[in-house]
Copies of this chain bind each other. A is one copy, B any other.
Amino acid sequence: MVKLFFYPKSIAIIGATEDSKKFGNAVTSNLVRNPKLTAKIYPVSRSSSTILGLPAYPSILKVPEPVDLALILVPAKYVPQVVDDCIQKQVKRIIIVTAGFGEVSKEGKEIERVIAEKCRQAGIRLIGPNCVGIQNVEIGMNASFIQYPLPGKISMVSQSGSFGCAIMDGLKWNDLGMSKFANIGNAVDVSFDEIIQYFHKDPDSQVVAIYLESVSDGKAFYRVMKEIAPDKPTVVLKGGRTAAGMAAAGSHTGSLASNYRVLKAAVEQAGGIICEDIEDYITTLKTFSLLPLPQGKKIGVLTNSGGAGVLYSDSAEELGLKLAEFSPHLKNKLKPLVIDLVQIVNPLDMIAGANDENYYQVTKAMLEEDSGIDIVIACGVYPPFLGMTFERNLQGMIRAWDETGRKKPLIPLLVFGSGYEKVKEVANRERVPVYSSPHEAAFATKVLIQRWNVLNRKKNIKSFN
């Protein structure tokens, strides 16, 4: 069972140290310094008898209690012996963080194969080697040498540890966080697919984020995707989409470019979302974390900037989306809300003088149940005149969203400008996403509609059965 990795009651760190220049120190202090974690921590070190205030043991065999999870950080040459000790100690789970195995040489590959085989025979599940580790924010466990995300509902499995770091920070900037994180390195036992299956079952993992560079068994991956994607938004980014990227990933299978096309089609067919770059990936995670799904695909746009409306329309069409035509009913509602110069068309350009009250009223008219609009894009550029502020316009939109029960997705496209810190402050406090470029807002629109389509398909299949 993968779950025990994420919910151990006792953890040994083999290779713990007080030397802050070593990964063994990073992992130990990440575990020890989190007051939320109630699991027992046993540092194991050949040279120290206390580490970060805890008693340390010269070998795992000297640890007086049973150990659920053993983290191994000693140099590669000592790892086989340490694994043997772990087997003797009857630990339940092992994570080998140490690098220098199958990823560097044939001999390393053979050594890790033998280790995996021994663990299998002993009934011990194994993550690694060559990984940054795992995290479970629910219980305050950072069993890795990287930073700790904010708490949240996204769970991520990544074939690159550093990519995980980047995503955690990208999410943090949006005041979003994670539930679980795993980087499993060479994956000699526990596989990438198993982690995804665990996230599927885990009730705290509500949005699933996947970064992969290679897929060993395409069909199996497709099956896993088909299980999870209809139930949970599942967002995939593949590094190594091109021949150059594959080469950089150290992968040398044939027919490189076609591989990615096949994978992309498979993910989308299974109901997942595929992204081509980090920005789109963060955008998608943010969107599923903060917005409700639409009940249709009719897009309505309002703006104080003609340019922003134009560029959003371009990006939307480039992503295969279409703006709605305003119904006569909506037109009648909008007309008295804007000045005479404004033409009542979609996008609705309220012109530079539009203030927070205009944003409130027009956004609300589009969000109301009978508007004929399913998704509202409220655009603005920073209005550096007439004493207006960026965040006040956002607050106008939010008021409209709150008063209509946050039922329809609201996409505030506030083009990056002065005072954006304040905009982020308001957005984070009110749990509203903001999008800083036309492409970003259009991509958010696209994934919402894509998800609505997936759920529709699922519903139709169910009613057919």
Contacts and interface: CB of A to CB of B under 8 A. Distances in A.
Interface of A: 20-23, 26, 99-100, 104, 132, 145-147, 158-163, 165-166, 169-170, 172-173, 211, 213, 239-245, 247-250, 277-279, 301, 304-318, 322-323, 341, 343, 347, 351-353, 381-382, 384-387, 415-418, 420, 437-439
Contacts of A385: 23, 26, 145-146
Given A239-B310, A241-B314, A309-B248, A23 B386 contact: yes
Contacts of A312: 248
Contact of A322 (B158, B239, B244): B244
A158 B310 CA distance: 14
A216 B170 CA distance: 42
Given A416-B170, A437-B278, A165 B318 contact: no
Contact of A418 (B21, B147, B160, B416): B147
A322 to B, nearest CB: 7
A387 B132 CA distance: 16
B160 A382 contact: no
11 contacts: A20-B386, A100-B341, A147-B382, A165-B381, A173-B416, A213-B306, A241-B318, A247-B313, A248-B309, A277-B315, A278-B416
Nearest to A388: B21
Contacts of A26: 385-386
Contacts of A161: 307, 352
A420 B322 CA distance: 37
A417 B166 contact: yes
Contacts of A301: 248
Query: Can you tell how many copies of this chain the complex includes?
Result: 2
Nearest to A414: B166
A243 B316 CA distance: 11
Nearest to A309: B248
Nearest to A169: B417
B239 A311 contact: yes
Contact of A20 (B22, B145, B387): B387
B248 A313 contact: yes
Contacts of A173: 416
Given A161-B307, A247-B313, 16 more contacts: A99-B341, A159-B307, A160-B307, A165-B381, A165-B384, A165-B417, A166-B305, A170-B416, A172-B418, A239-B310, A240-B313, A240-B314, A242-B317, A243-B317, A248-B347, A278-B415
B170 A278 contact: no
Which 8 residue pairs of A and B lie closest in terms of their CB atoms, listed nearest first? A160-B307, A162-B305, A245-B314, A163-B307, A147-B384, A242-B317, A169-B417, A239-B310
